[in-house]
């Protein structure tokens, strides 16, 4: 990834359509999804396979309470818009652990 997609971001974009979706599907609160962006390490990858209309990204990170989350997101108007948030799979946790080594 040539540039950091988070450069210049000033906050998060939540609306009625996405604020409760991850809680209903995966029991991840919106504020937990936000926390990973402030904790290290944060692993970011481009996700060009899932959208042709806007840049999408995959992230692996940890919440303040040490919950390991996978979060897909896009950036719109300098705001992070979370598309999906869930607990990391076993494979993702192993990949994340390797970034800390």
pLDDT in tens, 74-90: 999 999 999 999 999 99
36 burial class (0-12, 13-18, 19+ CB within 10 angstroms)?
buried
pTM: 0.90
From 27, 21, 19, 14, select the one nearest 80 (Cα to Cα): 14
The H or E element containing residue 91 is helix 90-100
How far apart CA 73 and CA 89 sit, in angstroms, is 18
Q: pLDDT tens, 20-75?
A: 999 999 999 999 999 999 999 999 999 877 667 789 999 999 999 999 999 999 99
């Amino acid at each position: 990834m040539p540039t950091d997609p988070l450069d210049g971001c000033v906050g998060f974009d939540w609306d009625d359509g996405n604020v409760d979706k991850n809680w209903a599907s995966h029991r991840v609160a919106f504020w937990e999804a936000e926390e990973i962006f402030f904790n290290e390490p944060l692993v970011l990858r481009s996700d060009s396979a899932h959208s042709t209309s806007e840049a999408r990204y995959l992230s692996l990170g940890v919440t303040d309470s040490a919950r390991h989350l996978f979060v897909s997101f896009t950036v719109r108007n300098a705001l992070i818009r979370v598309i999906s948030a869930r607990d990391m799979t076993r494979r993702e946790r192993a990949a994340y652990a390797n970034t800390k080594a």
